Structure 1
């Protein structure tokens, strides 16, 4: 497969390049407007196909798929260009920083019958995925940041969206009620809590942006047991006694955090010509938009 990666920011270098550059059946191309970054990354991963900008990359020939890892404000323009070339596109979350713009891109993908995927790595992290096999009457997810209050739209669409999507992923049935609470100080979102309630369960996600530490934890209760995952690296099981399991020393971070499986799934979806999961993508982005609207009214 001839695959293009557009944007070489932090997440591309830390999470995606180590996975994609190691796949033997990929002819990987890189594209970014920063020539210095392009040269450095291409040299580090020994990638011969490097292009200054998207236009230069597209002029080099057809692509089977593209990964977009540019800054969020650049997503709509890049994704539109690629979809209009009928290139299947994977975008690291979010698709866009508004539900309306996300809907436009999803509709474009559907109208052109081109696959559009959005990257939520926690769906593929093995310890999180395993939680779907356990009884779940109460789901509690916390994802906190140290001294990082910011505008509601940036906080929600660039970070809290992980909590929103993970709650939806782990919910055992479709939510029937949604509750949103936000704390905003001087126009900056400091804290947010989302509750999804359905038949026999509650799923609660919270984030505090003025906490003492960057941390993430999820607790699942039900069936006389409790399961927890801490910072995507430690699993705790309690059923009268406590069992703690930590990520093995030789387990790659990309595997533990779900990036390896997520990339493999998207490439398989391209080969299999799967359709865009439009309803699933939009459900997460619409919830995020509702949270932003709540915060902006505070």
Structure 2
């Protein structure tokens, strides 16, 4: 733990207040346990919008000026993905606790450096794996942890839409971190290999659609479909267990989670000529649990502030972010090799 003496409210500096950065700022500025003391962006309109959310914060255009401010205890990094590593490393080297939007970095080597730097300096490092704070996903995660779904066999996620098209990261790098973070929370063991196929239709070298299968130590798999070139907006995850199955559909306005008492069981009767004949399909009730609504982003920034104040790792700490980056990096290699299976170190 850092030896830095904290005030009652954690004093935060925000680096990057674009569209998503403003969402983060809106939630951070509203937290009772946090005080936004500085905001950094190179664009005047962004700083003007930030001033309306955090009127008492000092506005700067140079990130070094924010990091040199002794009043800043922790930093929220919401810049473009290629800059995550550079800004986060500078913040850690300046002795600040760091929250980084997903992904933690673009390469495993960069992510490992950030994790190591935070550990050696006794600082908190957290990554914005937002779905881990979504009440619907938290509910399914608890069901899995309690054994209510049985042994989790596979996870299937579909995250598609028409836009936003990016030019510095492909659809998998942009969209998959959400679902990879959920999969690694639900599936036992670590991911050991990935095979990914995709195609770049709009821009050379930037895949607009990707289908990927991640294999885990126990033989479980996670299958991901990511695209920004699709007529539908779908945000759906299916979790298949040996006892029950669950779906999370984030596009549903109210009934986001459904739990299915469905499965295939060995028959108690003897005398079947084949293994398939000795199995029975079970189709029971469908339960729609009542889940109290809460804004995931608010819960996420609350966790960051709490981890800083309490001197403990966050739910989605640097190691969690590193594990996702390793899969992303292996998936890029697989895409380049035409879908070949690539081992994850």
Matched residue, 2:223 = 204
Matched residue, 1:17 = 25
| TM superposition shift of 1:224 | 4.0
Aligned 8 A contact 2:14 2:75 in 1: yes
Deviations, residues 176-195 of structure 1 (Å, cap 9, x unaligned) = 75341312345332222223
Moved over 6 A (4+): 148-152, 245-248
Show the 5 A alignment for 1:201-280.
201-231=220-250, 233=252, 234-239=256-261, 240-244=284-288, 251=293, 255-256=294-295, 258-274=296-312, 277-280=317-320
SS of structure 2 residue aligned to 1:283: helix
Query: CA separation in 1, counterparts of 2:160 and 2:115?
Result: 30
| TM superposition shift of 1:203 | 2.9
Query: CA separation in 2, counterparts of 1:75 and 1:68?
Result: 7
Show the 5 A alignment for 1:26-105.
26-28=34-36, 29-105=38-114
| TM superposition shift of 1:68 | 0.5
Point out the structure with max Rg over C-alpha. 2
Tell me how large the CA RMSD over aligned residues is.
2.6
Matched residue, 2:198 = 183
Aligned 8 A contact 2:126 2:318 in 1: no
| TM superposition shift of 1:151 | 6.7
Aligned 8 A contact 2:34 2:305 in 1: no
Q: 1:260 to 1:284 in 2, by over 3 A?
A: same
The alignment of Structure 1 onto Structure 2 pairs a total of residues equal to 290
| TM superposition shift of 1:92 | 0.7
Deviations, residues 239-265 of structure 1 (Å, cap 9, x unaligned) = 3233446887xx4xxx34x22222111
| TM superposition shift of 1:59 | 4.4
Q: 1:272 to 1:111 in 2, by over 3 A?
A: same
Aligned 8 A contact 1:165 1:284 in 2: yes
Query: CA separation in 2, counterparts of 1:100 and 1:176?
Result: 17
Aligned 8 A contact 1:152 1:292 in 2: no
SS of structure 2 residue aligned to 1:95: coil
For structure 1, the 5+ residue unaligned runs are none
Deviations, residues 12-64 of structure 1 (Å, cap 9, x unaligned) = 223x1221111133220211121232022212443443223223324443322
For structure 2, the 5+ residue unaligned runs are 1-9, 262-283, 339-345
Aligned 8 A contact 2:234 2:251 in 1: no
| TM superposition shift of 1:154 | 3.3
Q: 1:151 to 1:293 in 2, by over 3 A?
A: farther
Matched, 1:195 2:211: no
Identify which of 256, 269, 281 aligns with 2:321: 281
Structure 1-normalised TM-score?
A: 0.85
Query: CA separation in 2, counterparts of 1:91 and 1:25?
Result: 19
